[in-house]
Structures are given as C-alpha cells and as structure tokens.
Structure 1
Amino acid sequence: IDSWCKENSYVIAGYYQANERVKDASPNQVAEKVASRIAEGFNDTALIMVDNTKFTVECVEPAIHVYELHENKWRCKDPHVDFCEDWTEAQRIAASLLDSKSYETLVDFDNHLDDIRNDWTNPEINKAVLHLC
C-alpha cells in the first residue's frame, strides 16, 4: 500500500472502521492501534468510525464520528464542528453512489487479501465519484 501511495502521490491520512454491532460506533483497540501507526507518519491522521444507526440512503446527517489524536489518546471531534468542506455536495454524491448500489462492487483491503484479483483501489467507484463532482 505504501509503495502504491508513493507512486500515485497519495498519503495514508487515516483509518475507518464499521463495527459489526449496529449500535457500536466506538473505536476498538485494533482501530486505535492502526490509526496510531498511521499517525507516526502523518500528523493530522483521522480515525473515522461509521455510525450505522445514522446510515440512510438520503444521507440526512453524517454517519461517521471523526476522532483525532490528542495527547496520545483518540478523542471524538465535536460533531457540531463541520469536518466536511461541502456537506451538501458530499451528501449528493453519497446518495447517488448508494442509489446506484456502488457498494456492491466496493473492494476493501481484506477483500483483496482474500483474492488478489480484487482491486482495492476501486477505480470504477473513483471514476463515478469524479464524474459526480
């Protein structure tokens, strides 16, 4: 992943996780450890936890909690502070991707490890996002 990021001028800036239990949106030890490791190379690392209770097709409100590293502890950012430059635009794009069922072709790195033919860079979804912008 590091090599691919360097070759394509990307930075690993954070880690996201969706817990198995719908009502659990708190980072576990694995999430904190992975995010802390990323923070060793990138000062503004974000740990993003999916809040499945807020996940809707309409994308009325952000379905994530953003954590930042503060004094070696992961703290949830104030949800009333905007962490998205253009929430309306993000909402529109997310709703469109959900409507087109892009999630059915989404490949995360675990999928790639199960079958290396699965492209974890998700070029088709990235093209769709760029097209929607």
Structure 2
Amino acid sequence: MASATVASVSSASSSEPVSPTAGDYLLSVKSYLKIVMHALRYPHATVNGVLIAEKKGKTSKQIRIVDAIPLFHSGHGLAPMTEVALTQISEYCSKSSDLVIGGYYQVNDAFHEHPHPIPTVFAERIADKIFEANPDAVLFMISNFSLATSIDDITRLDSPFFMFQNIDGKWKLKSSSASSKGFALEAESAILELTNELVFKKSHHLNIIDFDSHLENVKDDWRNPKLNEVIEQFVKSN
C-alpha cells in the first residue's frame, strides 16, 4: 500500500443509525481487554488499532473478533507508518488460514463526546482501506467517558463501544441502543474478572505494546504474546 493511496481515500461519516441487527459481531475477551488496556495506558492520547477476525464461513451468521492489535498512541495520522503496520499485520494474518483483518478501532483524546465519539477523517481512511479488502470490516469508536464509568459494571461493559458500518461508502453508526448495537461481548463475567485482576490489581495495561513502542524498540512485540497467554489461560480455566 502506498501512502499516497491511503491519503487519497475520501469518505464521510454519519451518526444516523443503520437498521439494527443485534449480535452480528462477537467481541472476544482478548480483543475487548486489549482495546481497553490500550486506551487506559494512554488516556491523554488518541489511540488506535486493528481488529483481527476469524474468516466468515459460508453458513456463519456472526463474525467473531478474536484479537486487537494496538497501533499508535502518537502520530496516529501518519499514513506511512500506518501502512507499514498494516502490511506487517496482513502478513501475520496470512500465516493462518482462519484469520483476516476484520476492522479498526480508535479512542479519541477527547473525554466528553456526546452522544458518542465520531470517527475522524484518518479513522475513516484506514477503515476504508480495510473495508476494500474485507467487506465485513467494521469500525469501532470507543468513548473515554464511558470507559471511566462502566468497565467495572457487568451490565454496562459494552457501553463505551460504538460500531460503525460502511453503508454506500459512508461510515454509519449501527445503533446506540444498548439492546441493538450490532455486536455482543463474549463471556462478560470473564471480561469483568480479568479487568479487575489485570487492570485494577496488577496494572498490566501499563505493559501493553503497540506499534509505536515497536518502532522505538524492535524487540517489543506488537502481538503482545505474553499478555495474550495470560488472557487465554484465564479464559480456558473458567
């Protein structure tokens, strides 16, 4: 991918809800936790990342987001570095017959965004590039305010997440209704327990590695294998 190509992509966002269908997408425990940890690690900054999904089967009605790859916490609008990251993540997915880049997430640096965070032009451009390769790709915007007020409440764990879909070339909010946001969380009790254990008690979010960190020190692995192992072991044991 050339930077000029990414820069030339244009799209428009809309907060007009798309007709809702609950549960089209399933966010795994690991993907949810890594997005939240990335946001909490850099609360002062806009952070973003890529969503990894299982390839959709011919009879599948739900797409499972299995992982989140943190990208940047500084210079999130630098197209060349983003393209380098996307290329490496694409190569990582190609090593598995079951994985594909399934979307993009972003947490803006604004604390109060009502009624929900709006995708920036950069977020739309990157989401557009992913959508070109995968028409099932989605864009998640995460509310900093809701993160601060809901991640310790099992009934509100999904409230910081707002899912946008590409409809006729525009990124539109699926729905802001809690009962029809277009996605579901996998194992909410495990999410709550792991958030309490890994974030509030052990502060593991301070060790999450994004592509920014990898560029500063190539020994830092943006795949976060150690964190993945901790999360996966916990999920298997419960």
Q: TM-score range by the shorter chain?
A: 0.7 to 0.9
Matched residue, 1:22: 111
Shift of 1:85: 5.2
Could you tell me the TM-score, scaled by structure 2's length? 0.50
Amino acid at match of 2:131: A
Matched, 1:35 2:137: no
Matched residue, 2:162: 65
- Relative contact order higher in (CA < 8 Å, ≥ 6 apart): 2
Output one character per residue of 1:15-52: Cα deviation in whole Å (capped at 9) or x when no partner.
11111111232110110000000001101111011111
Tell me if structure 2 keeps the 8 A contact 1:93–1:129. no
**Which portions of structure 1, spanning 4 or more consecutive aligned residues, are displaced by more than 4 angstroms?**
none
Matched residue, 1:8: 96
> Where do residues 1-133 of structure 1 align in structure 2 (5 Å cutoff)?
1-9=89-97, 10-24=99-113, 25-55=117-147, 56-59=150-153, 60-61=155-156, 62=158, 63-80=160-177, 81=180, 82-84=182-184, 86=186, 89=187, 91-99=188-196, 100-101=198-199, 102-133=204-235
SS in 2 for 1:79: coil
Which consecutive residues of structure 2, in runs of 5 or more, have no partner in the other structure?
1-88
Larger CA deviation: 28-37 vs 108-117: 108-117
SS in 2 for 1:15: strand
Amino acid at match of 1:68: Q
1:52 and 1:103 mapped to 2: Cα distance?
15
Which one has a larger percent strand, Structure 1 or Structure 2? 2
1:11 and 1:112 mapped to 2: Cα distance?
22
SS in 2 for 1:11: strand
Identity of aligned residues (%): 27
Amino acid at match of 1:70: I
SS in 2 for 1:97: helix
Whose radius of gyration is greater, 1 or 2?
2
2:224 and 2:232 mapped to 1: Cα distance?
12
Could you tell me the TM-score, scaled by structure 1's length? 0.86
SS in 2 for 1:53: helix
SS in 2 for 1:8: coil
